[in-house]
A and B are shown apart, each in its own frame.
Chain A
Amino acid sequence: MATVALLAVVEPRFGIELANTPSGIVVALIFIGFPFVVRTVQPVIAELESEIEEAAQSLGANRWQTFRKILFPHLFPALLTGVTLAFARSIGEYGSVIFIAGNLPFKTEIAPLMIMSKLDQFDYDGASAVAFVLLLISFIMLLVLNGVQRWQQKAYR
């Protein structure tokens, strides 16, 4: 949260407009979701033996080839898990988004916040409708990610 606030303060100096814009939403959610990706990928990187890279090097591969052909496929499952977690976390996130993107109708309005404001107005039907759409989207997304994961494991085994 502190990072998000800091970003909102610092950002005008770099000439990128983030406050009250849709890109602000993206930035806020990246900050929220990133730790999940880092947390899942980092241990995999840590246990990766340096010998694997050395083997690739001694076979004539340059750094980019080593990364693309050896390291990335190795990290991919963890990366996917991290992305899934980050996605699940971001879908319901609205606190940080209000701070940085505001809540401008039809511009930087996000679904979770819409649900909250509808609940505030005792519009339970409206809130449920939005929630249902949100649920549907997240369900489809998780299903797709799961499918990719399964396909990935099949290719490996």
Chain B
Amino acid sequence: MSIELRNITKRFPGYTALDNISLKVATGELVALLGPSGCGKTTLLRIIAGLETADTGSIILENRDTTNLPARSKNVGFVFQHYALFRRLNVFDNVAFGLSVKPAAERPSKQEIADRVMHLLKLVQMDWAAKRYPSQLSGGQRQRIALARALAVNPKVLLLDEPFSALDAKVRLELRRWLRKLHDEIHVTSIFVTHDQEEALELADRIVVINKGKIEQEGTPQEVYDHPANSFVYNFLGNVNVFHGRVRNGKVVLGQRLPDEHRELNGHEVKTGQAFIRPHDIGISRIRNGNNHPGVIRDIRLTGSQITLELESAGFDRPIEAEISRESWRNLELTKGDEVFITLDKVRVFTGDFEI
């Protein structure tokens, strides 16, 4: 076990940033902390790095209690959202910094430092820029230098604080695939913080969903996406249709007909509840059967590879969004104003108040 957090709590005046968080990260794992902004995920990362201290709880890195160690003794690599490169040092000196500030007894020789730096620069494909200054590089290049700099000191764990959020969409996508590949090569235990669910789903071995200082769910990307533990996770991961209604006798009363039994719900009391369904789980058909609802297409949007339909159906409090492939769109010959039949088999119901 590379990283173990036990009962971390952190309070700021007026609110609790982290509420009794416990988390384990196995050696070599790439874990995403996912949550909306202000949920405490960055604070958690900074506490692991020693840049902030927890009020209670302990942090164990590779079986050593590092709770009270200062950041410089933790041997943790940290990559910042806005790179935080040293502007007055060139790329080479930036990467060499961690090695050159070691006490004389531990410091490698000049030649060894140079070899290590060039090796890392090759690893991040930036060896051509050794003599450049950070101001002469693009955002994506700077972030790769920041990564090389953090790796230079052979950190036990690598922490990345929203590493791609300052980059434009295309570079972001490219860099995260590249990071995944790099991680497969060097296997350093890593945690990255993100509010971008797509990024977390694509990049991480495991996702930890955090909201309001608490862990809502943790699991592989597929687990959290396909089996969200609660309404928050369902809503936060991916697009979703939410319908508000009442739950009676374990049945949701929504629209004209909705799937009946839901094992989450029992008893006879009437509760408010929400039904969730992802746009791509909605079936669209021209033919009526006993299990689908009539609806009218209000809008058709072409969003790249998918077609997004906006549907209206009697009894639903808001328009339903459905995603279908281009192929089925062509086959069904759908146009605005058409009457179609909607299948909502994969709907999931949660009771209690929903909020984000």
Contact = CB atoms under 8 A, between A and B. Distances in A.
Interface of A: 49, 51-52, 54-62, 65, 69-70, 73-74, 156-157
Contacts, number: 72
Interface in B175-215: none
Given A69-B101, A156-B133, A60 B72 contact: yes
A55 B88 contact: no
Secondary structure at the B interface, as helix, strand, loop or mixed, is loop
Contact of B97 (A51, A54, A56, A73): A56
Given A54-B51, A55-B78, A65-B101, A60 B84 contact: no
Closest 3 CB pairs of A and B: A59-B98, A51-B84, A73-B88
Nearest to B93: A69
Nearest to A54: B51
Contacts of B102: 60
A69 B97 contact: yes
A54 B78 contact: yes
Contacts of A156: 88, 133
Nearest to B73: A60
Secondary structure at the A interface, as helix, strand, loop or mixed, is helix
Nearest to A76: B88
Contact of B70 (A51, A57, A59, A157): A57
B133 A157 contact: yes
B161 to A, nearest CB: 9
Interface residues of B, number: 30
B86 interface: yes
Contact of B101 (A49, A54, A61): A61
B225 interface: no
Nearest to A49: B84
B153 interface: yes
Contacts of A61: 72, 97-98, 101
A61 B100 CA distance: 9
Nearest to A157: B133
Contacts of B329: none
B116 interface: no
Contact of B87 (A58, A65, A74): A74
18 contacts: A51-B80, A51-B82, A51-B84, A54-B78, A54-B84, A55-B84, A56-B97, A57-B70, A58-B50, A58-B78, A59-B72, A59-B97, A59-B101, A61-B97, A62-B101, A73-B88, A156-B88, A156-B133
